Structure 1
Amino acid sequence: MEKTQSAGRMAGLDILAAGRRTQNVKSRLKHWRTLNAFALVYICEGSGSFESNETAEVNVKAGDCFFLFPGVSHFYGPPGQTIWKEIWVLFRGNLAEYMLKENTLNPSFPVTSLHATRRSEFQRNLESLVELYRNKANEFRLRSTALLYNCLLQSTLPLDSPPPISGDSILLDEMKLILRRHMGSSRKIPGYFHNSRYSYNTLRMEFQRLTGESPGQYLRELRMQHAEEQLLWSGLSITDICMGLGFTDSRYFSRAFKKHAGSSPREFRQRYHLIR
């Protein structure tokens, strides 16, 4: 159940389009519009107003973002001879629907003024998302989903909340959590991520980019650290420790442990064992 939920969180957003736009009085929407998906609009420069059939007219300015909702008519843009610059993302998915159901996203309160400490990272994440969308890079879905997830998190935090961790950190934590949950599994690593919408090759490259090591190297080090703890603190036999960490060959386990710790599991236990 936990594995399925974790994979579901990684696949809960689908980005349909993204871009930048400069609006003036000529390009401003001249009529009310209704979308069939969600959208996030962030104002980088300038000011104006926003209104929808769920809320009265609201003044908005640089550093503000607002959400557009499926089936909710809206109208927005700068006044008079002024302009504003915006970044927008059109999206849908289970996570967005869940946030709407839980009132985390609320059509009656669509505008958010971002805390000053969060604006630079927020805009940087959106800029990166737009570039990924335009270039259609191999890792587009993986990285852009993480970036949008982070933007949703930042835009729904209370104004005085500290900045959240980056989208990359969120994604990395998800992958590490899945690996930790399978520390005792003898299956091959690609099978751990079979519920993900992303190929294992894409996930592996992203993990390598963020950590400098492969998922296999990370998992092997994690297992060796756990083996050390069990050799020191438990009364389990070396065979039980080996099998409990997903190794089916005790000789391979001993070689891997010796490479990690500089001594065999038996020598390590005899030298440092804390159980009397």
Structure 2
Amino acid sequence: MDTFRKYVHADQSDQKQQPDWGINVLDVGHSIHPINTVYPDSKHPEGYFFEWDKGRVLAEYQLVYIASGTGVFEAEKLGRVDIQPGTLFFLYPRIWHRFKPDADTGWTEYWVGFEGSYANHLMKQECFNPERPLIQMGFNAEFINIFIQLIDTIRFGGPGSNQLAACLTIQLLGLVYASALLKAQSNSRKTQLINNIKYSIHENLNTNISPEELAAKHNVSYAWFRKAFKEITGKSPGQYQLNLKIQKAGKMLKETDLSIAEVAFQNGFESEYYFSRIFKSKMLLSPSKYRNNS
């Protein structure tokens, strides 16, 4: 697809003659930005061009989709975030932002700028948040095809083009909304499953059940389980399990008269020596000194 961009002035007569559908498309485009070149290029009109050091503030919403290449994005209340292919981000009115491709990759971008009463309503939905403006869309053929239709509609104009552009923009926002909801549901299911496995770990602290066995018990692969568990808890399953055992052992050392060997055995450790070595590495004291330390 050829690169294309068009910026529409709000006072153009053809817009005045057509009904207000609550979304007014102000600019739309597709750009392939080459490697090792200045971004944004000089073809950006006044009001849209920005210097990296200063960033930019717009008076409109923009939806920007990075189809290929990598880069960075930064906005008010959001630190610098790496951009990967398939990332979509929203720009919000009156919120400072800046973004650019990596010099050694460049990137391909699609964007549409819009405003209007219905646009304001849509952008107040839960999944559209100026503090979380990035959504990982990945490759979505329907999304790309609608973007191409939108660009062609603005490129070739004709009767009813503004209404059609508004409809296509609503379709794009609908796909983004659906993608965000599915991701939220997926994350919710993931969190619930990991919480169930965490419960199993607590219930089996006195055994030697392995993380692989826990994954099989819950009908998921160990590779997925380990990645998801660390993503949610910040620790690998094995370390999480070991930390719980050490905490339980420490409590038993303080609150019971069981020997160190018995404490080790009841917490699933193979030997007193192994337990003592692991306990000291975690608690910085040997089991006997920990017990005697007030």
Equivalent position of 1:51 in the other structure: 74
Q: Which amino acid in the other structure matches residue 26 of structure 1?
A: V
- 1:194-226: CA deviations, max 9, x gaps? xxxxxxxxxxxxxxxxxxxxxxxxxxxxxxxxx
Cα distance in 2 between the residues matched to 1:115 and 1:57: 20
TM-score, normalisation: structure 1: 0.50
Cα distance in 2 between the residues matched to 1:76 and 1:136: 30
| 2:31 pairs with 1:21 | yes
Pairing partner for 2:118 from 95, 102, 105: 95
Q: Which has the higher contact order (CA 8 A, sep 6+)?
A: 1
Q: Deviation of residue 36 (structure 1)?
A: 0.4
Q: Deviation of residue 159 (structure 1)?
A: 4.8
Cα distance in 2 between the residues matched to 1:59 and 1:122: 22
- 1:145-201: CA deviations, max 9, x gaps? 111111101112245739xxxxxxxxxxxxxxxxxxxxxxxxxxxxxxxxxxxxxxx
Q: Which amino acid in the other structure matches residue 25 of structure 2?
A: I
Cα distance in 2 between the residues matched to 1:92 and 1:105: 15
Contact 2:127 2:181 in 1 (8 A): no
**Secondary structure of the residue that 1:44 maps to in structure 2?**
strand
* Alpha carbons of structure 1 residues 156 and 85: separation in structure 2 relative to 1, 3 Å: same
Moved more, 24-33 or 12-21: 24-33
Alignment of 1:35-114 (within 5 A): 35-114=58-137
| 2:173 pairs with 1:161 | no
Equivalent position of 2:143 in the other structure: 122
Cα distance in 2 between the residues matched to 1:142 and 1:100: 19
- 1:110-160: CA deviations, max 9, x gaps? 1111155xx111011111111111111223122211111111011122457
Alignment of 1:123-202 (within 5 A): 123-159=144-180, 161=182
* Alpha carbons of structure 1 residues 120 and 158: separation in structure 2 relative to 1, 3 Å: closer
Q: Which amino acid in the other structure matches residue 98 of structure 1?
A: H
Moved more, 25-34 or 56-65: 25-34
- 1:80-135: CA deviations, max 9, x gaps? 3221010111100112211333444211111111155xx11101111111111111
Cα distance in 2 between the residues matched to 1:96 and 1:142: 14
Contact 2:25 2:113 in 1 (8 A): yes
* Alpha carbons of structure 1 residues 47 and 157: separation in structure 2 relative to 1, 3 Å: same
Equivalent position of 1:11 in the other structure: 21
* Alpha carbons of structure 1 residues 104 and 98: separation in structure 2 relative to 1, 3 Å: farther
Contact 2:87 2:138 in 1 (8 A): no
Structure ID, larger Rg:
2
Contact 1:112 1:156 in 2 (8 A): no
Alignment of 1:230-245 (within 5 A): none
**Structure 2: runs of 5 or more not aligned:** 1-19, 41-50, 184-294
**Secondary structure of the residue that 2:89 maps to in structure 1?**
strand
How much identity, in percent, do the aligned residues show?
A: 26
Contact 2:60 2:93 in 1 (8 A): yes
**Secondary structure of the residue that 2:132 maps to in structure 1?**
coil
Q: Which amino acid in the other structure matches residue 38 of structure 2?
A: K
* Alpha carbons of structure 1 residues 97 and 15: separation in structure 2 relative to 1, 3 Å: same
**Secondary structure of the residue that 2:182 maps to in structure 1?**
coil
Cα distance in 1 between the residues matched to 2:80 and 2:121: 26
Cα distance in 2 between the residues matched to 1:126 and 1:146: 11
Q: Deviation of residue 11 (structure 1)?
A: 1.2
Cα distance in 2 between the residues matched to 1:152 and 1:74: 21
* Alpha carbons of structure 1 residues 159 and 67: separation in structure 2 relative to 1, 3 Å: closer
* Number of positions where the alignment pairs a residue of Structure 1 with one of Structure 2: 151
Cα distance in 1 between the residues matched to 2:31 and 2:163: 24
Cα distance in 2 between the residues matched to 1:108 and 1:53: 8
Cα distance in 2 between the residues matched to 1:12 and 1:68: 18
